[in-house]
A and B are shown apart, each in its own frame.
Chain A
């Protein structure tokens, strides 16, 4: 009795072979394998999304260590809820939704505790718009790398002052480059709302970053 060792031995047409390989390595297939106890499949999912999720949460919270913890919590929830996962959405939409909920929850906790970021901004005490602690230095820097670093920091600080309902769609669109449709699914809202919020977020940013534009 011969044992098939490779997919080539099955004798499928090349296009079909490609489709099957694609299917076995898709996010859905990996999560399905995770459900059956395949730890390697889950490790593959983690390696695919760990940087994206960590980066997204970091842009949302402006706290790297906290972002790493929340990213891990995101994967733990994916692992725990693997049995209840439904394939109606893309896996990326699913995991980004979990990450968004965790990040927004963390931002609300911080707001309740009146935590102040030490990286440069004071939260307004009257619930209004946050005020900048260190206004951007208009003087030219010597090194172009320093200029870029300073500009990136300024952008990150400006994003972190945005209200959370504007922050998430802006990051998903302008940093991660996701489509309006996917953002709407992640945030569980309509495309029109997403477009409106992104437009307003850019308006806020333009005002804050006027010195750099």
Chain B
């Protein structure tokens, strides 16, 4: 019962303002209860100390600074939505960077495929029956791997050529070959000067073909001069001239 009275009295004292008077029951209880009396004195002193903090004055230029701030905000009213615009610009910039990156990556991914395509595009002529009395060496599309066969096995050049195709440089160019074996020979008319149509000393020159194997290495094929005996073209175009007459 007494404890209940203490709680009620302390609650009442706690809720009152300092200048307000408490009820007669509380006064009566304070007269009897030393603990509540001490609590009341301590609490009153504490509240006086807190209340004695008083009001801190604003600085003298408070109004001036506030006016300047409001004026500055009204001047920059057009930039009121600048944070939103800034986010929008940031998103747009990210999208542009992503799009550019996608384009660049696609170009990089497509580059090796172009090389492969170019390799596959190299014309592989279908074998045609050639009725030639002389069995000429059958020229084929030049394959870099075939070139390496001619190189000694322990040579650095061969080791270099044995690298896998996947690590070939990106600027690899397709191997370009030209096969003239199946082309029809030019028809030489008698009216055309033979010296301009077919140089008489052509067979005396060796044939040299220089090829690029796609890795930047030049391969030269040297075909020695082929002689079929006397090669003269008659001026008159008459191949049945009398013996001893040229």
Name which residue of chain B comes closest to A43, CB basis.
Answer: B63
Binary CB contact string for chain A from 68 to 110 against chain B (1 if under 8 A, 0 otherwise): 1001100110010000000000000000000000000000000
Least CB separation from A174: chain B residue: B50
Main secondary structure of the interface of A (DSSP, over half): helix
Could you tell me the distance between the alpha carbons of A59 and B50 in the complex, rounded to whole angstroms? 10
Tell yes or no: A117 within 8 A of B by CB. no
Interface contact A55-B56, CB-CB below 8 Å? yes
User: Interface residues of B toward A: which range?
Assistant: 20 to 34
Q: Is A51 among interface residues, defined by CB-CB distance under 8 A?
A: yes
Q: Which residues of A contact B65 (CB under 8 A)?
A: 72
Q: Choose among B50, B56, B63 the residue with the greatest number of A CB atoms under 10 Å from its CB.
A: B50
Q: Contact check: which of B14, B55, B62 meets A202 at CB < 8 Å? A: B14
Neighbouring B residues of A52 by C-beta, 8 Å: 55
Contact A206 B62 (CB under 8 A): no
Within 8 A of B (CB), among A152-196: 152, 155-156, 159, 170, 174-175, 177, 180, 195
Chain A contacts with B in 192-213, Cβ cutoff 8 A? 195, 198-199, 202, 205-206, 209, 212-213
Chain B min CB distance to A30 (Å): 15
A212 touches B49 (CB 8 A): yes
Q: Are B50 and A175 in contact (CB under 8 A)?
A: yes
Quick check: A202 and B43 within 8 Å, CB to CB?
Answer: yes
> Taking CB as reference atom, which chain B residue is nearest A156?
B53
Which single residue of chain A is at the shortest CB-CB distance from B65?
A: A72
Measured between alpha carbons, how far is A12 from B171 in the docked complex, in Å?
A: 101
Contacts of A50 in B (CB 8 A): 58, 62-63
Nearest residue, chain B, Cβ from A73: B69
In the assembly, what is the distance between CA of A53 and CA of B63, in Å? Answer: 13
Q: A50-B62, A174-B50 are in contact. Are A213 and B14 (CB under 8 A)?
A: no
A99 CB, min distance to chain B CBs, angstroms = 12
- 5 further interface pairs, Cβ-Cβ under 8 Å (given A152-B52, A155-B49): A58-B56, A68-B59, A76-B73, A152-B49, A198-B14
> 9 A-B residue contacts at CB 8 Å?
A46-B63, A50-B62, A54-B57, A55-B56, A59-B53, A175-B53, A202-B43, A202-B47, A209-B49
A residues with CB within 8 A of B: 43, 46-47, 50-55, 58-59, 64, 67-68, 71-72, 75-76, 79, 148, 151-152, 155-156, 159, 170, 174-175, 177, 180, 195, 198-199, 202, 205-206, 209, 212-213
Q: Which residues of B contact A (CB under 8 A)?
A: 11, 14-15, 17, 42-43, 45-47, 49-59, 62-63, 65-66, 69-70, 73
